[in-house]
Amino acid sequence: MHEMGIAQNILEIALEAAKREGATKISRIDLVAGELRGLVPMQMTFCFGIVAQNTIASSAYLNIEETPVTAHCDDCSADFKVEEYKYLCPKCSSAKVQVTGGSELRVKDIEIE
């Protein structure tokens, strides 16, 4: 389950940020995850609950914001959203497209007390 490793990473980032702020508790973590990451929010929440045990983030709510897959067309320079894994330009139907977004994974914000 790759969610466990990701949850561990997120926890470390959040704890580090909380430490800098001198926080005693993390109440919420806003996570941005690209659709290509294929994260299952329920599994993420579950794994996070395990890795965060006995830390100041143990009762933090994990808010996952999924970002769409985006691509750029090499033929007509259009930028578009890829839906249902159709890697074709919606403007000119070209298949010469480059994926430009959808694989990001970062902690956007944390709420501390």
Whole-number Å distance between alpha carbons of 105 and 33: 5
Binding mask 32-71 for Zn ion (x = CB under 5 A): ----------------------------------------
* Of residues 45 and 70, the one with the C-beta less far from Zn ion: 70
Which residue carries 């993390």 as its tokens? 26
Helices (H), the chain: 2-21, 41-51
Nearer to Zn ion, 93 or 103 (CB): 93
| CB 95 to Zn ion: min, Å | 9
In the 8-state DSSP scheme, what is residue 36? Answer: G
Cα 38 to the chain's mean position, in Å? Answer: 9
* Range 64-103, binding Zn ion (CB under 5 A): 73, 75-76, 78, 89, 91-92, 94
